Structure 1
Amino acid sequence: MASDNDLIKLYSQRILALAADIPYRARLDAPQASVKKRAPLCGSTVTVDLDMTDGVISRFGQDVKACALGQASAAILGQNVLGRSRAEVEATRDALRAMLKDGGPVPDAPFDGYDVLEPARDYRNRHASILLSLDATADAIAEAERAACA
């Protein structure tokens, strides 16, 4: 069981501030792609809507129903998502997963704000919620690319 100090460290003021200020929190009208993902263990859900222009995200919206850690992760993504390619989003998702599960380094800039979630490494039951926005965004990009080729 986590001690009170561990939980205070995990739910830092920075995480709580991010969770309270998620960018692009509104769903988009008529997006090119829309993906809803759910973390089965905790029930967190994220729906991502996006448009792609010239291989990068040009419009983005997200509906986040998650714990503070999942919300903080969605906020970090939202701060940096516009203008990003599929490769950048997937690389960030993979780096964040490695950071959480394998003790890897923090994702590279501009997504280096995920350092705030390093204390969550020891809370495996929260990893899926933390990765949810990136997973949904990567899937939405793939969906938009498939639709563009059809």
Structure 2
Amino acid sequence: MSNDADLMKLYSARILALAADVPRLERLQSPSGTAHRRAPLCGSNLTVDVTLENGVITDFGQDVKACALGQAAASVVASNIIGCTRADVQAARDALAAMLEANGPAPQAPFDALKVLLPAREFKNRHASILLCLNATLDALDAAGA
């Protein structure tokens, strides 16, 4: 079980600030693709809408009902997703999973701010919530035929 010092390290001021200021919280009216994901261990839920033009994300909306870690990840993703392709999102998702599960490096730009979630490595029960936004975005891109 975690002690208070571990939890303080996990819920840093930067993570809480990101969680408190998640951008793009409006669902899109006519998205190219939509997807919903749920993290089974904690119950976090996230729905993502994307609009694509020539395989590039031109608009993004989300409905986030997640823990602070999931919200922080969604904040970083939403702040940097416009202009990305499916390959960019897949690379970020794979790098984030490797950072959390295999001591890999943080994702590269434009998603390098996800390194703030590095302390969550030790909290495997939080990994699904942290990956939620990128996983849902990939699903929405697939639904759009990207």
Normalising by the smaller structure, the TM-score range is over 0.9
SS at match of 1:131: helix
SS at match of 2:129: helix
Partner of 1:3: 3
After TM superposition, what 4+ stretches of structure 1 lie above 6 angstroms from structure 2?
Answer: none
Deviation at 1:54, TM superposition (A): 1.3
Partner of 2:109: 109
1:30 corresponds to which letter in structure 2? S
Partner of 1:78: 78
* TM-score of the aligned structures, taking structure 2 as reference length: 0.98
Partner of 2:22: 22
CA distance in structure 1 between the partners assigned to 2:136 and 2:119 by the alignment: 23
2:115 corresponds to which letter in structure 1? D
Cα RMSD between the aligned structures?
Answer: 0.8
1:133 corresponds to which letter in structure 2? C
Q: Indicate whether 1:66 and 2:51 are aligned.
A: no
2:123 corresponds to which letter in structure 1? Y
2:6 corresponds to which letter in structure 1? D
Partner of 1:51: 51
Q: Indicate whether 1:41 and 2:45 are aligned.
A: no
SS at match of 1:49: strand
Partner of 2:142: 142
Describe the superposition over 1:89-139 as per-residue Cα deviations: whole angstroms up to 9, x where unpaired: 001000000000001000001111011000000000000000000000011
SS at match of 1:145: coil
Deviation at 1:51, TM superposition (A): 0.7
CA distance in structure 1 between the partners assigned to 2:93 and 2:29 by the alignment: 26
SS at match of 2:50: strand
Count of residue pairs the alignment pairs up: 146
2:121 corresponds to which letter in structure 1? R
Describe the superposition over 1:5-31 as per-residue Cα deviations: whole angstroms up to 9, x where unpaired: 110010000000000111101111121
Partner of 1:31: 31
Q: Indicate whether 1:131 and 2:131 are aligned.
A: yes
CA distance in structure 2 between the partners assigned to 1:133 and 1:91 by the alignment: 14
CA distance in structure 2 between the partners assigned to 1:124 and 1:130 by the alignment: 10
2:57 corresponds to which letter in structure 1? I
CA distance in structure 2 between the partners assigned to 1:115 and 1:41 by the alignment: 22
2:140 corresponds to which letter in structure 1? A
Q: Indicate whether 1:91 and 2:91 are aligned.
A: yes
- Structure 2 residue runs of 5 or longer lacking an equivalent are none
